[in-house]
């Protein structure tokens, strides 16, 4: 019998699913897939529950319920000074995952080139390929993940239609600097291209750093699509409510992409997210402060275990170099090993690379967990590696 889609047939199941399944099977603490282990704000959850009971459970308007679209517009003004008309500037999607696809559908035609920055989130390349677009990948190098400006400039050419990038960035925790954003914006303007920015971690920045949407830079409004996620902003990752902020010239295209992908998103969740976006400044500041403390706890613990811990200024994630632990195997083997033998799951960072020559000695740990869970994970890793920090290298099986 004939096969189905050959590209999908050639790719694997996402690493997040693979590692979460292994963590469950081995009853490991899951510091792999990024999801908080506490519920989001009670008033937001309650608003969703109440919204289920008030008999507005049929299809909501295609681009999103007015309450949420208005709340996204207000949020844009409040945090970034962006002047957005909610009716011609906001599309609600089923998670940022759908938003990424909808934004790419909105700007690219088959054959167009899209510049991507590696390490990259794992849906970017598959979606681009399924659209028949061509990824042009530029790699950041650890430990500082600085933007390689010459290589980025060289990746832009006459066929470039867009750049898609993620700031604050998963898995590196990099928050793009204003100077780097200016450089990207300049390339986008000069090549008459678009910038699609995956900003799901917009409120999860640390050490006083502020997220700057590229959309706010001079001449960038009409060229930018800005993606947010209630999952990250309200610690409710299972809800899958995302939102795209678009200029009026791109809004109809994003809306039509959404119309053909999912058409709508659960109305009760949308209305509850509107309640969340209206929360006071203390909520947004408190979210970052609490996560920063988790980052500090996990970073210190992993350093004690013997990892080289790379700096992270945002997101849920810490990247570590496990070379000092003298494990004899690559990052995939290492993450399996610690899940199975130490009872702590992590994500191999090579999963965020498209090309075969990815670095293979980094593991990503999520710190969006309760302090006692992080403490237990560190204790398990310490116990595991204390007995094994032997002069002779460990084997992958070992």
The two beta strands, 242-245 and 90-93, are antiparallel
Distance CA 171, CA 327 (A): 21
What residue 229 binds from ligand GLN, ligand PMP, none (CB within 5 to 8 A, per partner kind)? ligand PMP
Kindly state the smallest distance separating residue 124's Cβ from ligand PMP, in Å: 9
Give the DSSP H or E segment for 129.
helix 124-130
Kindly state the smallest distance separating residue 287's Cβ from ligand PMP, in Å: 15
**Residue count at the site for ligand PMP (CB under 6 A)?**
13
Give the DSSP H or E segment for 257.
helix 251-261
Figure out which of the listed residues 20, 76, 160, 237 binds ligand PMP, where binding follows CB under 6 A. Answer: 237
With respect to ligand GLN, which residue has the nearer C-beta, 73 or 273? Answer: 273
Distance CA 190, CA 186 (A): 6
Kindly state the smallest distance separating residue 238's Cβ from ligand GLN, in Å: 10
- 170 binds ligand PMP per the rule CB under 6 A: yes
Please count the residues of the chain: 398
Under a CB-based contact definition with an 8 Å cutoff, are residues 227 and 214 in contact?
Answer: no
Q: Where are the beta strands (DSSP E) in the chain?
A: 29-30, 90-93, 113-118, 134-139, 160-166, 194-198, 224-229, 242-245, 308-309, 317-321, 327-328, 344-345, 347-348, 362-366, 394-395
- 339 binds ligand GLN per the rule CB under 6 A: no
The interface region with ligand PMP, picked from 72-80, 131-139, 234-242, 322-330 by CB under 6 A, is 234-242
- 94 binds ligand GLN per the rule CB under 6 A: no
- 205 binds ligand PMP per the rule CB under 6 A: no
Structure tokens at 89: 């500037």
- 224 binds ligand GLN per the rule CB under 6 A: no
Kindly state the smallest distance separating residue 161's Cβ from ligand GLN, in Å: 25
Kindly state the smallest distance separating residue 33's Cβ from ligand GLN, in Å: 4
DSSP assignments along 334-377, one per residue: HHHHIIIIISEE-EEGGGG--STT---SEEEEE--S-HHHHHHH
Figure out which of the listed residues 70, 205, 229, 245 binds ligand PMP, where binding follows CB under 6 A. Answer: 229
Figure out which of the listed residues 23, 29, 34, 250 binds ligand GLN, where binding follows CB under 6 A. Answer: 34
- 33 binds ligand GLN per the rule CB under 6 A: yes
- Sequence-distant (6+) residues with CB within 8 A of 293 are 371
Under a CB-based contact definition with an 8 Å cutoff, are residues 245 and 63 in contact?
Answer: no
With respect to ligand GLN, which residue has the nearer C-beta, 37 or 85? Answer: 37
Distance CA 215, CA 213 (A): 5
- 170 binds ligand GLN per the rule CB under 6 A: yes
- 97 binds ligand PMP per the rule CB under 6 A: yes
Figure out which of the listed residues 231, 301, 329, 348 binds ligand PMP, where binding follows CB under 6 A. Answer: 231
- 350 binds ligand GLN per the rule CB under 6 A: no
- 283 binds ligand GLN per the rule CB under 6 A: no
DSSP assignments along 231-251, one per residue: HHHTT-GGG--EEEE--TTTH
Distance CA 365, CA 33 (A): 9
With respect to ligand PMP, which residue has the nearer C-beta, 33 or 76? Answer: 33
- 16 binds ligand GLN per the rule CB under 6 A: yes
- Of 105-134, binders to ligand PMP (CB under 6 A) are 121
Return the axis-axis angle of helices 371-386 and 281-305, rounded to nearest 10°: 10
What residue 33 binds from ligand GLN, ligand PMP, none (CB within 5 to 8 A, per partner kind)? ligand GLN
Instruction: Note the residues at the interface with ligand GLN (CB under 6 A).
Output: 14, 16, 33-34, 170
């Amino acid at each position: 019998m004939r096969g189905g889609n050959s590209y999908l047939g050639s790719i694997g199941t996402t690493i997040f699913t693979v590692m979460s399944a292994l963590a469950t099977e081995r009853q490991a603490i899951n510091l792999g897939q990024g999801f908080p282990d506490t519920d989001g704000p009670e008033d937001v959850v309650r608003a969703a529950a109440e919204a289920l009971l008030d008999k507005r459970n049929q299809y909501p308007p295609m681009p999103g319920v007015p309450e949420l679209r208005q709340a996204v517009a207000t949020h844009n003004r409040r945090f970034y000074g962006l002047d957005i008309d909610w009716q011609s500037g906001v599309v609600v999607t089923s998670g940022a995952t759908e938003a990424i696809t909808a934004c790419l559908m909105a700007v690219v035609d088959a054959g167009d080139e899209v510049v991507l920055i590696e390490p990259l989130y794992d849906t970017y390349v598959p979606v681009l390929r399924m659209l028949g677009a061509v990824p042009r990948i530029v790699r950041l190098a650890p430990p500082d993940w600085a933007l390689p400006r010459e290589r980025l400039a060289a990746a832009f050419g006459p066929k470039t239609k867009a750049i898609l990038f993620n700031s604050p960035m998963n898995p590196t925790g990099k928050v793009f600097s204003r100077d780097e954003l200016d450089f990207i914006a300049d390339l986008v303007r000069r090549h008459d291209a678009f910038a699609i920015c995956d900003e799901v971690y917009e409120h999860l920045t640390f050490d006083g750093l502020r997220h700057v949407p590229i959309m706010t830079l001079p001449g960038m409004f009409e060229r930018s699509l800005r993606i947010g996620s209630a999952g990250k902003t309200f610690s409710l990752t299972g809800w899958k409510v995302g939102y795209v902020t678009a200029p009026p010239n791109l809004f109809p295209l994003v809306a039509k992409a959404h119309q053909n992908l999912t058409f709508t998103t659960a109305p009760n969740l949308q209305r509850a997210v509107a309640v969340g976006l209206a929360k006071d400044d203390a909520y947004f500041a408190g979210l970052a402060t609490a996560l920063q403390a988790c980052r500090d706890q996990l970073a210190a613990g992993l350093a004690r275990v013997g990892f080289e811990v790379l700096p992270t200024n945002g997101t849920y994630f810490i990247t570590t170099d496990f070379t000092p632990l003298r494990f004899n195997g690559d990052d995939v083997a290492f993450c399996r090993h610690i899940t199975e033998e130490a009872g702590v799951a992590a994500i191999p960072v090579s999963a965020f690379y498209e090309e075969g020559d990815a670095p293979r000695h980094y593991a990503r740990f999520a710190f969006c967990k309760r302090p006692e869970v992080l403490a237990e994970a560190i204790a398990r890793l310490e116990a595991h590696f204390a007995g094994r920090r032997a002069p002779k290298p460990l084997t992958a099986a070992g």
